Amino acid sequence: MTISPNQPESGGGGESRLRQRIADEIRRHGPIPFSRYMQMCLYEPELGYYSRLREQFGKAGDFYTSSDVHAVFGRLLARQFEEMWRALDSPQRIDVIELGPGRGLFARDVLDWSAKQFPEFARSFRYALVEQSAHLRDRLQERLAEHIAAERAGVFESLEAAASTAGENIIVFGNEFFDALPVEVVDYHGGLRIGLKNGRFVETFVPPTAAELEFLDRYSVRPEKGERVEAPLVALEWMERIAEAFRGKRGFLVVIDYGYTREEQLAGRHRDTVMSYRQHTASASPYEAPGEQDITAHVNFTAIRARGLQRGLDPVALLTQSQFLIGISEETQFADAFQECKLPQERAKVALQLKHLISPTGMGETFQVLLMSAGVAKEKAAGLSGLKLSH
């Protein structure tokens, strides 16, 4: 048992209420799994990190995502979605379903750029935003009001609600969605539970569950002394829900996130990837300020790909964000990024932002892209420009 450092006895408003609520649950039920702790920290109604009325994203928030860097991320994906639509034989209707859109910058960029560059595609597609946070859903309604009024976009609370209104061609997309899902943590001593001692959260361990052990043996590794690994069981459930959403439909799944494969773990990397962020700085402990900081874990791509496959999705590719974005834009020489730059200074600024998205020192190599499909001929899927540099 270890006592976590830096825990204030009580914090400001929301934090202390959330701390209290978590403590009450532990008093009632005993130590809780780490996934439950993470779920409450991030999503507890009104008090969780994503549920509170606060700025999580961008400069004023705690982290940047690709859409915060530059509109080119959404524009390049719009280009790729348009190709996917063509690979599906340019149907009259296609629905893009975005999981965890946050404040909706990506959706806005895709909608605006498609209208401008790909009018035929833009006429066929509708954009569904699936966001669990009520407060973020309100913000999405505001940001995308024009598109919503024109019935080009809609905001939904669940994937199932979005899928039920979609036509038979869909693209399911998630950027930094899977890393925000609660995970189980397992170390040499067993499965991690969060208990309470003298009013503080403490870590305790119980024998790992059968589901955790099965996960580690299939998709990850068993932790050695002093190591921790994650068992993202909720991510597997999400893959099942996604595969279910494709039932009777065809299309593509595009998952972009920082993550790893089992091979990389076997080589000794990506153990203990749970991280907490506050104001653009990694914080020492997930127990420090519940509800005040983001908690994430890297995505186990081997596991989510395998579960998709088991549930009927076809694997297309797993490649780096860098390979994917360069593949999409090579032919047009990044015209999507530079089109509106008039002055050399503007070009220089955009070039730097682009570099951040694609270079190994920026987001290019840590972020990976998982592509799967349903009901799409193999050659058609393989012909997507985003896959040009994958091997």
Note the residues at the interface with ligand SAM (CB under 6 A): 50, 57, 65, 67, 99-102, 106, 130-133, 136, 175-177, 180
Q: What is the DSSP pairing of strand 94-99 with strand 125-130?
A: parallel
- Pick the closer one to ligand SAM by CB: 32 or 363: 363
Residue least distant from ligand SAM (Cβ): 100
The CB-of-155 to ligand SAM minimum distance in angstroms stands at 11
Supply the minimum distance, in Å, between the C-beta of residue 331 and ligand SAM.
Answer: 26
What is the smallest separation between the CB atom of 226 and ligand SAM, expressed in angstroms?
Answer: 29
Min CB(190)–ligand SAM separation in Å: 27
Q: Which is nearer to ligand SAM, 74 or 308 (CB)?
A: 74
For the stretch 138-141, contacts whose Cβ atoms lie closer than 8 Å and that sit 24 or more positions apart, written own/partner, are 139/103, 139/104, 140/101, 140/103, 140/104, 140/107
Query: Judged by CB, which is closer to ligand SAM: 101, or 364?
Result: 101
Instruction: Give the nearest distance from C-beta 281 to ligand SAM in angstroms.
Output: 16
- Quote the least distance from Cβ 158 to ligand SAM, whole Å: 7
Sign for the CA dihedral angle at 379, 385, 386, 388 comes to positive
Specify the residue for token string 């932002």. Answer: 353
Query: 178 or 215: whose CB is closer to ligand SAM?
Result: 178
Q: Dihedral (C-alpha) 57, 62, 63, 68: value to the nearest 10 degrees?
A: 30
Nearest to ligand SAM of 76, 136 (CB atom):
136
Which CB sits closer to ligand SAM, 161 or 266? Answer: 161
Q: Please list, in sequence order, all residues whose beta carbon lies within 8 angstroms of the beta carbon of residue 383, skipping any fewer than 6 positions away.
A: 87
Residue found under tokens 């099965």: 214
Degrees (nearest 5) of the Cα angle 324, 329, 330? 100
Contact 207, 196 (CB under 8 A): no
